Amino acid sequence: MKIAFAGLGAMGRGMAGMLLQAGHDVTGFDLSDAALSWLEENGGRRATTVAQACMGADALVIMVVNANQARTVLFGEDGARGALGAGALVLCSVTMPAGDAAAIGQAASDAGWHYLDAPVSGGTVGAEAGTLTFMTAGEDAAFEAAGPLLDAMGRNIYRLSDKPGAGSTMKMVHQLAAGANLAVAAEVMAFGTDQGLEPALLHEVLMNSAGSSWMIGDRGPRMITTPDSAKSAVDIFVKDLGIVLDAAREERFPLPLATAALQVFLGAASAGYGKADDSQAVKYYECLGGKPVDGQSG
């Protein structure tokens, strides 16, 4: 398939790479020249606008930060409108409120496109390995058209509804689980270190005990050895847990753990770590006077 790809960040780059490996023709757009150079080096083509990327494309994959950016990709100046042909697929993997996903899906349908609400889980590792979990919702035609793309980028493909919005609801619930687990992982690593335990040994014991979790296993080593770049930023969980709590507030549904977790990420962001790897939520505790888990910063 001829694919336009908007958003070649940490996740998008891996996803585009898997599409290229599967033999698809990928033209990408991103505000980062380095990301576009990477795409060219790996067999894709760069575009100077979304519209240019969409010319003659069978599908557009969107992997930007939020709903407003997704709207700009589709309907903004130099966006997909007018360039992406009728009957093309729009596969949107942006984490956003379900109401926005439904509204964007309706607008895409009105424009003559097949829209699949398709947020993902699996991180950069899953994106680069083609093992992502896709939480999809959309009409039959959209799901069928997306098959070759989903097969290239993912391992677990779930269809939650024939109407856009349900996929984003599932991703929202997932982000509650992921964010709360990561906040606990940061608290555990910070508290154990402050109590005098050696961080690497603390992590090893946790991973071989009932208190282990995927987040402790994946983010713990990145707390001990601070990464040079962010695989996923602290600010992402500030945004995503905000989405969770906004939805809960509308339904009058209490989420005390999500509320507490958001304060950890807000604390880290306010201390200057918003753009840092999300494992650096641990800095929230270090800034309150705890011992540095990485043995260096505080």
Among 281, 174, 159, 296, smallest CA distance to 225 is for 296
Q: CB of 241 within 8 A of CB of 175? A: yes
Which residue is it, tokens 């950890």? 264
H or E, element range at 21:
helix 10-21
CA atoms within 13 A on the CB side of 217: 8
Q: Give the whole-angstrom CA distance, residue 71 versus residue 106.
A: 12
Q: Which residue in the list 2, 163, 171, 231 is annotated as catalytic?
A: 171
Q: For the residues of 260-289, what is the DSSP string, one character each?
A: HHHHHHHHHIIIIITTSBGGGGGHHHHHTT
Task: Give CA–CA dist 86/79, Å, rounded.
Answer: 15
Is 171 assigned a catalytic role? yes
Q: How far apart are CA 6 and CA 17, in angstroms?
A: 13
Residue written as token pair 């780059």: 13
Q: For strand 120-121 and strand 132-137, is the pairing parallel, antiparallel, or unpaired? A: antiparallel
Angstrom distance (rounded) from CA 132 to CA 125:
9
How many C-beta atoms lie closer than 10 Å to residue 200's C-beta? Answer: 14
Residues noted as catalytic = 171
